[in-house]
């Protein structure tokens, strides 16, 4: 190839390469990532929530549980009148329920968190159990007597004969103890607490436990030597002095307990404060009214109803705790 032809061929090749370099690049059809489609959520109506009826309103009465201190028949006959009076004076719907045992009142009170709201009148042991189980707070207590004789509770006595060789509670070990019955508070339950506080088991310490029909017979049996000791309420010697005569002079107190309340109204936290105050004030007002007080007396045998707080029972609580009993188990 001549030099001139070779030069022309080289020039053509260079021009072709230049044209190729200057050509616009056609867009490439690359795959495009697509976001997955999410269905638009649709609103779903929530199920209807039933409206809670406040405690004490019509349709949700507060249950007032009472173990009457008098005849149960009289108490039941008075319940409708008491309910009507509370409704009229406070606007609160209350259902009075009469029970045979304080343990039933305690169970209703402590079930307020899971069932119908209940307030309950309790005695000393069941008050201790309600306190131990955090079932409520005291708001009222029963008072008996008037003016200087008014009191909200009573102590118990363990009595022995004046010439007895028993000098202290531990001396009851191996002796004959007499009572009115296993469920009587002052003749058996209170002395049992005293024994426990002094290191005696009331089940095994006495050699024998004998039941008597009434308080005068019980006192006479101690004075006559048929019983080594017995339990009575502090007021019993004065109350039965006429029937006992000189027998009273043959008796001495071996031990005196702390004062035990006649009855304590405990309300659970499930009763709102305003409702609690309204019901408490209404019951107090009824106890101060001559007509209304008669209705309540069939349930509570009260002279009056007075305000109560936990501080009112400090001395009793200290004594009860000294027995070593687990009151949280009571009524369980």
Tens-digit pLDDT profile for residues 123-171: 999 999 999 999 999 999 999 998 888 999 999 999 999 999 999 999 9
pLDDT tens digits for range 291-307: 999 999 999 999 999 99
Gap between the Cα atoms of 97 and 24, Å rounded: 99
Gap between the Cα atoms of 302 and 221, Å rounded: 32
User: Given a cut of 50, is residue 12 above it in pLDDT?
Assistant: no
What is the structure's pLDDT at 11? 45
What is the structure's pLDDT at 329? 85
Alpha helices (H) along the chain: 3-22, 72-90, 102-110, 124-132, 190-197, 215-223, 236-239, 241-244, 273-288, 290-300, 314-321
User: Given a cut of 70, is residue 116 above it in pLDDT?
Assistant: yes
User: Given a cut of 70, is residue 39 above it in pLDDT?
Assistant: no
What is the structure's pLDDT at 119? 97
**Cα dihedral across residues 126, 128, 132, 137: positive or negative:** positive
The answer to pTM > 0.85 is no
Q: With cut-offs at 50, 70 and 90, classify the pLDDT of residue 4.
A: very low
What is the structure's pLDDT at 150? 92
* DSSP-based three-state secondary structure for 282: helix
Q: With cut-offs at 50, 70 and 90, classify the pLDDT of residue 42.
A: low
pLDDT tens digits for range 180-224: 999 999 999 999 999 999 999 999 999 999 999 999 999 999 999
* DSSP-based three-state secondary structure for 180: coil
What is the structure's pLDDT at 44? 62
Mean pLDDT score of the chain: 88
What is the structure's pLDDT at 9? 45
Query: Can you tell me which residue has the tokens 């409520």?
Result: 136
What is the structure's pLDDT at 41? 58
The stretch 38-63 carries a mean pLDDT of: 71
Gap between the Cα atoms of 249 and 208, Å rounded: 25
What is the structure's pLDDT at 211? 98
As a residue count, the chain comes to 332
Gap between the Cα atoms of 113 and 69, Å rounded: 27
Q: Which residues contact 217 (CB under 8 A, 6 or more apart)?
A: none
Q: Which residues contact 270 (CB under 8 A, 6 or more apart)?
A: 55, 112, 113, 117
What is the structure's pLDDT at 30? 47
What is the structure's pLDDT at 93? 96
User: Given a cut of 70, is residue 310 above it in pLDDT?
Assistant: yes
* Domain annotation for the chain: domains and CATH numbers: 62-147+261-329 (3.40.190.180), 156-257 (3.40.190.10)
pLDDT tens digits for range 224-261: 999 999 999 999 999 999 999 999 999 999 999 999 99
Q: What is the DSSP string of 70-134?
A: S-HHHHHHHHHHHHHHHHHHH---EEEEE-SSHHHHHHHHHTTTTSS-EEEEE-HHHHHHHHHTT
Q: With cut-offs at 50, 70 and 90, classify the pLDDT of residue 45.
A: low
User: Given a cut of 50, is residue 43 above it in pLDDT?
Assistant: yes
The stretch 98-121 carries a mean pLDDT of: 92
């Amino acid at each position: 190839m001549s030099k001139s032809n070779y030069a022309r061929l080289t020039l053509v090749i260079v021009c072709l390469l230049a044209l190729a370099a200057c050509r616009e690049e056609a867009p490439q059809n690359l795959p495009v990532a697509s976001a997955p489609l999410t269905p638009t959520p649709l609103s779903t109506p929530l199920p209807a929530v039933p409206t809670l009826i406040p405690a004490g309103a019509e349709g949700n009465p507060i249950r007032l549980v009472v173990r009457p201190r008098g005849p149960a028949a009289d108490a039941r006959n008075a319940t409708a009148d008491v309910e009507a009076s509370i409704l009229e004076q406070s606007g609160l719907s209350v259902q009075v329920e009469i029970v045979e045992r304080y343990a039933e009142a305690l169970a209703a009170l402590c079930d307020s968190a899971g069932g119908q709201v209940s307030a309950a009148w309790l005695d000393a042991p069941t008050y201790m159990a309600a306190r131990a189980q955090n079932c409520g707070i005291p708001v009222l207590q029963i008072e008996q007597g008037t003016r200087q004789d008014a009191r909200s509770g009573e102590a118990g006595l363990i009595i022995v004969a004046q010439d007895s060789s028993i000098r202290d509670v531990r001396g009851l070990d191996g002796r004959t103890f007499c009572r009115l019955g296993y469920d009587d508070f002052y003749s058996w339950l209170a002395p049992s607490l005293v024994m426990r506080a002094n290191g005696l088991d009331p089940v095994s310490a006495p050699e024998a436990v004998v039941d008597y029909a009434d308080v005068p017979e019980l006192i006479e049996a101690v004075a006559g030597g048929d019983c080594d000791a017995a339990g009575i309420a502090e007021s019993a010697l004065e109350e039965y002095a006429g029937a006992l005569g000189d027998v009273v002079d043959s008796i001495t107190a071996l031990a005196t307990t702390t004062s035990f309340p006649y009855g304590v109204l405990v309300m659970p936290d499930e009763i709102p404060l305003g409702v609690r105050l309204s019901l408490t004030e209404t019951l107090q007002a009824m106890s101060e009214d001559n007509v209304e007080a008669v209705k309540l007396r069939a349930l509570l045998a009260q002279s009056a109803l007075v305000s109560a707080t936990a501080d009112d029972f400090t001395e009793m609580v200290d004594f009860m705790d000294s027995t070593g009993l687990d009151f949280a188990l009571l009524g369980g």
